[in-house]
Homo-oligomer: A and B are copies of this chain.
Amino acid sequence: MIKIGIVGGTGYTGVELLRILATHPQAQLTAITSRKEDGVPVAQMYPSLRGRVDIAFSSPDKANLNACDVVFFATPHGVAMAQAPELLANGVKVIDLAADFRMQDVAQFEKWYGMEHTCTQHLPEAVYGLPELNREQIKSARLIGNPGCYPTTMQLGFAPLLKAGLIDAGNLIADCKSGVSGAGRKAEIGILFSESSDSFKAYGVSGHRHTPETIEQLQRLTTDKVGLLFTPHLVPMIRGMHSTLYAQLKDSALAMSNEELQAVFENAYKDEAFVDVMPFGSHPETRSTRASNMLRLALHRPGNGKTLVILVVQDNLVKGASGQAVQCMNLMFGLDEATGLNHVPINP
């Protein structure tokens, strides 16, 4: 059994981790910290976990995280980098669901997150936790920067085309839509039911933190200079993310048939448990992934023209966050990658 600690388990990625780990056959939840909720049983805050998770939150000083095999940080940005050095020194592996270890470019991190990076000594060993693109590195990592939800969809959608050199890397557009849970469990007016229900809006159009993270990763796949325009939107649904990706075929690729383009995707993901390449021209719905670790995508080529449209859907809290983190954990501990992640999506 893997002894697991969770720092900051009161948010949505935290409770989703708990849901997944509660039925993971190799997981032994050892400690979950929250300064504010010290002593409160987890199941009191989350009645959905009554009878399934027995431990209580404890303040960080009481929780003996150093005795864990792995610690997940489901915290605001900046917490993991403060605590990771001690944990790593004690042989504890660290998976951060926030942004502290996602970007190697410290200047970019500090610009977009407005804080000093205080753990740059460990950045070089930090592995970006996207198994479909980084599997071997994850297996041997002891420090993981778990990808952002939007970046997961953008990377898995563009990667096969970029790797194959078929599209103009400098002219990528990602028009992305997320359910409200992506904004976290924070008492803010803008994500009240009466504010965000029955409405739709874009946000962060002039610039968003997930752009530099995604560019840094996409750039690893091509020698062409990557240019990405990313537009996030808020959808009145709890979970789910839908990214509509636009890419321009290079002139050299214009002669490819749709079947050949489809094959590029099918070959790229043919061994993946959690990427489903749907038939060419499909329209995946976010609900087809609800509460599961599956990401589905489909390729379109309107008018058989120069522009490809890739539709990508996932559950932002699972493949976009906590499920992906458990997928990484499985790899890091030599388990089958899908262990504990076989949830069938909820429909309807």
A231 within 8 A of B: yes
Measured in the bound complex, the distance between the Cα atoms of B237 and A238 in whole Å is: 12
Q: Contacts A194-B180, A286-B201 known; A244 to B237 CB distance under 8 Å?
A: no
Q: What 0/1 pattern do residues 316 to 348 of A give for CB contact below 8 A with B?
A: 000000000000000000000000001111111
Tell me which residues from 192 to 235 in chain A have a Cβ below 8 Å from any Cβ of chain B.
Answer: 192-203, 205-207, 229, 231, 233, 235
A66 within 8 A of B: no
A296 within 8 A of B: yes
Contacts of A201 in B (CB 8 A): 242, 283-286, 313
- Residues of the B chain whose Cβ atoms lie less than 8 Å from the Cβ of A31: none
A347 partner residues in chain B, CB cutoff 8 A: 15, 19, 46, 48-49
- CB-CB under 8 A from A278, the residues of chain B are 47, 50
Checking B15, B194, B205 against A191 with a beta-carbon cut-off of 8 angstroms, the contacting residue is B194
Q: Check if A12 is an interface residue, CB within 8 A of chain B.
A: yes
User: Is the Cβ of B283 less than 8 Å from the Cβ of A202?
Assistant: yes
Give complex CA distance A287, B201 in Å: 9
CB of A177, distance to nearest CB on chain B (Å): 6
Cβ contacts under 8 Å, A288 to chain B:
47-48, 50
Given the interface contacts A191-B193, A246-B173, A344-B49, does A202 sit within 8 Å of B23 by beta carbon? no
- Tell me whether A37 is interfacial, beta carbon within 8 Å: no
Interfacial residues of chain A within 80-136, with CB under 8 A of chain B in the complex: none
Copies of this chain, how many? 4
A286 to chain B, nearest CB (A): 5
Q: How large is the interface on A (under 10, 10 to 19, 20 to 34, 35 or more residues)?
A: 35 or more
Residue with the highest number of chain B CB atoms closer than 10 Å, among A19, A283, A284, A286: A283
Q: Is A236 a contact partner of B233 (Cβ separation < 8 A)?
A: no
A76 to chain B minimum Cβ distance, whole angstroms, is 16
> Taking A192-B193, A344-B52 as contacts, is the C-beta distance between A233 and B229 under 8 angstroms?
no
Contact between B187 and A187, CB atoms less than 8 A apart = yes
Q: In the complex the two chains form, is A348's CB within 8 Å of B205's CB?
A: no
Q: How far is the CB of A294 from chain B (nearest CB, A)?
A: 8
**A175:B48 contact, CB within 8 angstroms:** no
Tell me which residues across on chain B come within 8 A of A292, comparing CB atoms. Answer: 48
Cα–Cα, bound, A15→B203 (Å) = 23
Query: What separation, in Å, do the CA atoms of A12 and B317 have in the docked complex?
Result: 24
Q: Contact check, A194 vs B185: say whether CB atoms are below 8 A apart.
A: yes
Residue in B197, B231, B342 whose CB lies within 8 Å of A193? B197
Pair A177/B177 contact, Cβ less than 8 Å: yes
Knowing A19-B344, A229-B307, A344-B22, say if A285 contacts B191 (CB, 8 Å).
no
Complex contacts, A294 vs chain B, CB 8 Å: 51
Partner of A276 from the list B15, B51, B240 (CB cut-off 8 Å) is B51
Bound CA span A308–B60, Å: 42
Q: How far is the CB of A53 from chain B (nearest CB, A)?
A: 9
Task: Given contact pairs A49-B345, A51-B276, A180-B194, enumerate 18 new A-B contacts (beta carbons under 8 Å).
Answer: A15-B347, A23-B342, A173-B173, A175-B175, A179-B194, A185-B194, A191-B192, A191-B194, A193-B193, A198-B287, A202-B242, A205-B283, A206-B300, A207-B303, A229-B309, A235-B236, A239-B348, A290-B346
Supply 11 A–B pairs (Cβ within 8 Å), ascending by A: A46-B347, A47-B284, A50-B296, A173-B307, A177-B200, A181-B348, A199-B237, A199-B290, A206-B302, A229-B246, A291-B291
